Structure 1
Amino acid sequence: MKPVHQHAVEARIETKKSTVLTQIKKNYSAYLFLLPKLILFVAFIAIPVVWAFVLSFQEFKVFGSEWVGFENYAKVFQSSAFYDALKNTFLFTLVTVPFNVISALIIASLIHPLGKWSQSFFRGAFYLPTVTSMVIVAMVWRWMYNHDFGLFNYVLGWFGMDPINWLGQSSTALWSLIIMQCLIPFGVGIILYLAAMGSISESLYEAATIDGANSFQKWLQITIPLLKPTTLYLVLLSTIGSFQVFTQIIMMTGGGPGTSTETLVHLIYKTGFRDFEFGLAAAQSIVLFFIILVFSVIQFRVLRYDD
């Protein structure tokens, strides 16, 4: 005979199964609408991610891959190219993320007091570059950085200065890309900050006014603390995007000169699709995943919003 507690456990399991089946039958139409998206997610995200993890332990061959264990990961951490790419990606992220988030906060704070029509105009103006293809944006900036007829060297010529080979020398190439990224408005951040500011109760500002606080004090003591959840989301979003920078690199420098603008995603691309070392590229992508995960956890713990 089965013990009494085992009967109780089995009874609870059966009850849960019955509840789940009841909910599925009750909401089957919703699950049918979700099914196409779920199939696409599994086919193009879940399966490739799992396959990349499995592939990272193999030396890929068209006719039968060879299992090599952690050999690919050892190659990753022994590669000077990987550390060069990691250093460049860290620098790119360290500069662009704070600049983009802070500039979005300041711009949104300047737009928020304006009237309805003015807000709509500036929302559209700052969000427009976001919907523009980064390929097109990179091509425009590559023209502006051109050594012979670029806009920046043309302006330098007004002051009698020699032209600079912005993208063709190691000392300026990466910083040129960083400047480009900083000067592209962080449209998503501005829109989200404006929406968050609109949800802050006016009574808080009225109470601060009665206490004698000026506009800057109200912005510093009320607006910024209450925007902390939005700031956390934007920092995470911007950090992930910076670690995955690719389009600007491949369109403007190709990782050069030398390895001065090589980034992790571009290195993964070259390893997989130029050198056809798919196992090593998969290992590099898994390492990148864990780097982003660690940074995200740290940022979440530092910026998390506690009621």
Structure 2
Amino acid sequence: MNSNPNLQPSNESVIMKKPTLWTKIKKNKVAYFFLMPKLIFFTIFMLIPIIWAFIISFQDRGVFTVDYVGFKHYFEAFQSPIFRAALWNTFLYTIVTVPAFIITALVIAALIQPLGSISQTFFRSAFYLPTVTSMVIIAMVWRWMYNYRFGLFNYIIGFFGFEPVNWLGQTSTALPSLMIMAILIPPGAGIIIYLAAMNNISPSLYEAAEIDGANSFQKFMKITIPMLKPTTLYLVIISTIGSFQVFTQIIMMTGGGPGYSTETLVHVIYKTAFRDFNFGLASAQSVILFLILMGFAIAQFKALRTDK
């Protein structure tokens, strides 16, 4: 041990100076330069409108006047039978379509994954290409298939002696018909993402399971599904957000009817803002939708996260 006090390091030389925020920005200025266009776009078209909508939700806005009304629009939203019906319909739509989307994408990806690279590429393209089709076109095709007089579904059930069904014109079948449409549309994006995740799972895990005598089903349940938890979390959150924002199918196929049987939250917000011009109430409804989605995302993250 060195006893010379002059050779002992001082506390000032040992303690590293913590870099400031400005120092970090200067160090990574090239990265921030490339991120700047996206950040500007996000700020102008996403962040500012969100903040502005939150502010408007507490206001009654006339042509030349602005009155602050507190939480009036929030109470008004929950007192509206149309908004409550839309909230319930959206919950039902989400509960049915999101699990169907996840399970279908997982099963199809699991069936494609053992194939060769050429076959995988073919099936990836086959399942993904329909997703680039405009939802307006898809809704028009399905509206024709649901047509009461000459629709494909009534034509098929007519062969079995059943009477035609007014699929989109009665409250008992309108919302289930939209759910069937959502379920039968190929989950192309989910299949692509699941396939990429499955191909990244180490083959040594499956080899070790085979040595222990595991069959294909056991390997899928004990290795594949647990290893896909982060991917499943991402797809569940994205698909939940998409199902809560369902709009095109509603406005193209049912208009929210018959009655309020197919009203959804985004469709109600759209009508409140651009038909009734009640932007304060529409903003409050939008904030409620945002809070619901945030609650779902937090709950799903806690249920599916891997760092518990």
Q: TM-score, normalised by structure 1?
A: 0.92
| Aligned mates of 1:299, 1:36 — CA distance in 2 | 31
Aligned to 2:199: 198
Aligned-residue RMSD, C-alpha: 1.5
Q: C-alpha distance in 2, partners of 1:218/1:100?
A: 22
Q: Find the counterpart in structure 1 of residue 41 from structure 2.
A: 40
Residue in 2 that maps onto 1:163: 164
Task: Give, as a single letter, the amino acid of the residue that structure 1 aligns with 2:292.
Answer: I
After the TM superposition, which residues 78-227 of structure 1 pair with which residues of structure 2 at under 5 Å, given as runs? 78-227=79-228
- Listed as ranges, the gaps of 5+ residues in structure 1 are 1-14
Render the CA deviation track for 1:41-64: whole Å, top value 9, x for unaligned: 111111100000000000122212
Deviations along 1:264-296, whole A, 9 cap, x unmatched? Answer: 010000111111110000000101111111111
Partner of 1:9: none
Structure 2 CA distance for aligned equivalents of residues 219 and 181 of structure 1: 26
The change in CA–CA distance for 1:30 and 1:222 in structure 2 (over 3 A counts) is: closer
Q: CA deviation at 1:161?
A: 1.5
Once residues 303 and 132 of structure 1 are traced to their aligned partners in structure 2, the CA distance between those partners, rounded to angstroms, is 31
Q: Distance in 2 between matches of 1:281 and 1:288?
A: 11
Q: Which runs of structure 1 show a deviation greater than 4 angstroms over 4 or more consecutive aligned residues? A: none
- Deviation at residue 133 of structure 1 after TM alignment: 1.0
Give the distance between the partners of 1:87 and 1:214, measured in 2 at CA.
42
**What residue is the counterpart of 2:271 in the other structure?**
270
Cα deviations by residue, 1:63-89 (Å, 9 ceiling, x for unpaired): 122111111111011111111001100
Question: How far apart, in 1, do the equivalents of 2:116 and 2:194 lie?
Answer: 16
- The 2-side partners of 1:75 and 1:37 are apart by 37
What secondary structure sits across from 1:59 in the alignment? strand
Partner of 1:3: none
Paired amino acid for 2:251: I
Inter-partner Cα distance in structure 1 for 2:208 and 2:34? 48
Which stretches in structure 2 are left out of the alignment for 5+ residues?
1-16
Deviates more, 1:145-154 or 1:256-265: 145-154
Give the SS at the match of 1:66. strand
Match of 1:73 in 2: 74
C-alpha separation in 1, matches of 2:70 and 2:21: 40
Task: Give the Cα separation in 2 of the matches to 1:233 and 1:30.
Answer: 26
Instruction: Between 60-69 and 89-98, report the one with greater CA deviation.
Output: 60-69
Higher deviation after alignment, 183-192 or 32-41: 32-41
Deviations 1:117-161 (A, max 9, x none): 110011011111221111111111111111111111111121122
Residue aligned with 1:163, SS: coil
* 1:266/1:120 CA distance change after superposition, 3 Å: same
Measure, in 1, the Cα distance between the counterparts of 2:41 and 2:232: 31
Q: Which moved more, 1:104-113 or 1:131-140?
A: 131-140
Shift in Å, 1:26: 4.2
- In the other structure, the counterpart of 1:292 is 293
Shift of residue 188, structure 1, vs aligned partner: 1.2
183-192 or 256-265, which deviates more: 183-192
Q: Displacement, 1:34? A: 2.3
Distance in 2 between the 1:62 and 1:118 partners? Answer: 61
Match of 1:5 in 2: none
Mean Cα deviation higher: 62-71 or 167-176: 62-71
Q: Structure 2 vs 1, CA of residues 222 and 27 (structure 1 numbering), >3 Å: closer, same or farther?
A: closer
Output the CA distance in 2 between the equivalents of 1:201 and 1:192.
Answer: 17
1:54 maps to: 55
Q: CA offset at residue 206 of structure 1? A: 0.7
